[in-house]
Structure 1
Amino acid sequence: MKSGSPTIRDVAAMAGVSVATVSKYVNGTQRFSPAVEAKLKDAVESLGYRSNPLARSMITGRTRTIGVAILDITNPHFTKVVKGANRVALQHDYTLLLVDTEENPARERSVIEALAPRVDGLIISSRASEEMAQWMLELDKPVVMLRSVRGLAIPNVGFDNRLATYMLARHLLNLGHRHIAYLGFGAASINDERIAGARAALAEAGLALDVHDTHAPTAQAGEQACSRVMLGPDRPQAVICYNDLIALGFMKEAKSLGFRLPQDVSVAGIDNALYGEYVEPSLTTIDAQSETMGELAMQKLIDALAGKEDAGNIVLEPRLIARDSTVARA
């Protein structure tokens, strides 16, 4: 009895065709008559034959792998993006090769350029400006960016950042808050959009936005910035944070400083991180549709690999999730 895994020669012998025909069939480089393909399919399935991915990639020039470059794997927004992207990739027989650039602009380019030759296409999350991201056009691979970008000819799936903070500011104004602060992350290109949205809502009410900044989009950074915001001469009644991580860190430190939440200060974030629902008080947030972003980006990339014309860039709409961390001003 023959031992070991079935080979391409075994498939050829069972189907009554040449080894070259089997190779072309399993690698998808040539179509055959329905009768021949039926025999090949039966032989492959009967023997349990599995083609060698490395050999297949050498023949077809395709790896069936998609590179995904994200800014921080510990950020739940990016975790959900990857989850959504992976779901669609598996449906199309692709696997993911993930790199975490660790919020480090200095190493981003070298990491992505090293990744590009190993994959068929790339999904990239980057904080680089349009001018600084021009090198991505030279990767010689299809690219989809996880951000709306103007002036850069790269397909993208983005999020309406301006509308997100406009909605949060309107929510707080409707609750009676008049002194509202924004705690942002200035190194992100989208930070200006988020400031603009909150400012626009307050301007409609004849009010100004108090803007503060953090050094990173993390809970630790939110925690460190809290005393500067809350113990200064113009203590806000409500704070809109750049993301949920900053908001959660801010809330933790505010409690440590003796403030009652949300009675003394209402807090809101963006991203709809899973555990924001389970802290006390539960966090008011904007659902950024992170998983959907990953799904749409992956489908857009797979369409590009199939030679389909790009259907246009996508901007996802924010959705307000009001929870206990924002309350009517007494």
Structure 2
Amino acid sequence: MPKTQPTIRDVAAAAGVAVSTVSKYINGTQRFSGSVEAKLKAAIDALGYRSNPLARSMITGKTRTIGLAILDIRNPHFTNIVKGANRVALQHDYTLLLVDTEESQERERPLIEALAQRVDGMIISSRMPDDAVQWLLELSKPVVLFGRSQQFPIASVGTDGHLAASMLARHLLNLGHRRIAYLGFAKSRWNDERRRGIADCLQKAGLQLDVHDAEAPSAIAGERACSAILLGSSQPDAVICYNDLIALGFMKEARELGFRLPQDLSVVGFDNVSYAEYASPALTTVDLQSEKMGELAMTKLIAALNGSHDDEYAMLEPRLVVRESTMRRPDTSQPAGVTEMTPKTAGGRRRTGGQGA
């Protein structure tokens, strides 16, 4: 016959205490003297007792589970967010429950609503416009949002997108580029902030930004957008892409069209995904500190679960990472309003700058 699992009553008998004492100790609802807790721990270890999470949640009303909704698990930016969030969750004895909304705005809300029923709190990355997120407050669960909510008191974490974009634009201007295009993704909550950062920087130099839109934040979308931009009437000498995936797809198609990179064209992106360094040429980008973003979001959520109410926006600093996909244009002069910026060397072929100001 299979060995029966020890029960809470077995633990109570072995430790010589009441069943209610064992329950309170296991569920963390009450502390006891050192000697009592020592007896309880010894009995649990000796019997090999394991608490039932479902039974514990019925008693405490807590699942010790945190939900994380991301937009696309295939995107390394979100994979890194998960790694950072999970690291902090494990340190605090929480389990992570992951939902991939697959960049579908239609599926996003029902998936998040279903997730809310199974967790103590949620961390959410969403394409929803800011004026459409009020329903998150009605879920009666602590929520941390990636990207600032201007209208609602929701705790949020992100990176200064305007600064990140201006850093890339300033870097290209310092290299002598004058015809700069932005291949954005208009459905993103962060697209306008990045576009404004680039446009503001170019305006100070007396230049205008040529704006295009990708159909998705993916490498395939970057490939598909490439020919219309490079073979159009206003051919750029540098392209800033909404993210690294779009940039990598764009570079692949640009080479297929016969463009030399970076001799004919400089290309940059956002995120600093892990394999951007191994592209050919290696991609210049902005590190948005994805893992740190996940860590910070989880830290804020656990604080909220412990009774700390913090609706502030925690903003991380972007870091410029210069690689071989950008180079200086020949025979160009420094445009007005642009100050030369030399990124700090961070070892190897990678150079990293701070705010770049």
Using the size of structure 2 for normalisation, the TM-score is 0.90
Q: Which amino acid aligns with 2:120?
A: D
Equivalent-residue separation in structure 2 for 1:269 and 1:139 (angstroms): 35
Q: Which amino acid aligns with 2:32?
A: F
Q: Is the contact made by 1:130 and 1:150 (CA closer than 8 Å) also made in structure 2?
A: yes
Q: Which amino acid aligns with 1:77?
A: H
Task: State whether structure 2 residue 41 is matched by structure 1 residue 41.
Answer: yes
Could you tell me how far 1:173 is from its partner in structure 2? 0.3
Q: Is the contact made by 2:154 and 2:311 (CA closer than 8 Å) also made in structure 1?
A: no
Q: Deviations over 1:153-184 (max 9, x none)?
A: 11000111111110000000000101100000
Q: Specify the alignment match of 1:244 in structure 2.
A: 244
Could you tell me how far 1:306 is from its partner in structure 2? 0.7
What SS class does the counterpart of residue 50 from structure 1 fall into?
Answer: coil
Q: Specify the alignment match of 1:267 in structure 2.
A: 267
Task: State whether structure 2 residue 182 is matched by structure 1 residue 190.
Answer: no
What SS class does the counterpart of residue 321 from structure 1 fall into?
Answer: strand
Using the size of structure 1 for normalisation, the TM-score is 0.97
Stretch of structure 1 that moved more, 36-45 or 229-238: 36-45
Equivalent-residue separation in structure 1 for 2:309 and 2:114 (angstroms): 27
What SS class does the counterpart of residue 314 from structure 1 fall into?
Answer: strand
Q: Is the contact made by 1:148 and 1:159 (CA closer than 8 Å) also made in structure 2?
A: no
Q: Is the contact made by 2:155 and 2:311 (CA closer than 8 Å) also made in structure 1?
A: no
Could you tell me how far 1:18 is from its partner in structure 2? 1.5
Could you tell me how far 1:311 is from its partner in structure 2? 7.4
Q: Which runs of 5+ in 2 are unaligned?
A: 331-357
State how 1:137-156 maps to structure 2 within 5 Å.
137-156=137-156
Stretch of structure 1 that moved more, 304-313 or 43-52: 304-313
Equivalent-residue separation in structure 1 for 2:207 and 2:194 (angstroms): 17
Stretch of structure 1 that moved more, 110-119 or 2-11: 2-11
Equivalent-residue separation in structure 2 for 1:74 and 1:44 (angstroms): 42
Stretch of structure 1 that moved more, 302-311 or 184-193: 302-311
Equivalent-residue separation in structure 2 for 1:308 and 1:153 (angstroms): 14
Equivalent-residue separation in structure 2 for 1:295 and 1:200 (angstroms): 31
Could you tell me how far 1:47 is from its partner in structure 2? 2.3
Stretch of structure 1 that moved more, 47-56 or 250-259: 47-56
Equivalent-residue separation in structure 1 for 2:311 and 2:92 (angstroms): 19
What SS class does the counterpart of residue 132 from structure 2 fall into?
Answer: coil
Equivalent-residue separation in structure 2 for 1:69 and 1:3 (angstroms): 40
Q: Specify the alignment match of 2:214 in structure 1.
A: 214
Equivalent-residue separation in structure 1 for 2:272 and 2:246 (angstroms): 12
Task: State whether structure 2 residue 25 is matched by structure 1 residue 25.
Answer: yes
What SS class does the counterpart of residue 122 from structure 1 fall into?
Answer: strand
Q: Specify the alignment match of 2:158 in structure 1.
A: 158
Task: State whether structure 2 residue 284 is matched by structure 1 residue 284.
Answer: yes
Q: Specify the alignment match of 1:234 in structure 2.
A: 234
The total of aligned residue pairs comes to: 330
Q: Specify the alignment match of 1:123 in structure 2.
A: 123
Q: Is the contact made by 2:153 and 2:311 (CA closer than 8 Å) also made in structure 1?
A: no
Q: Which runs of 5+ in 1 are unaligned?
A: none
Could you tell me how far 1:25 is from its partner in structure 2? 1.1
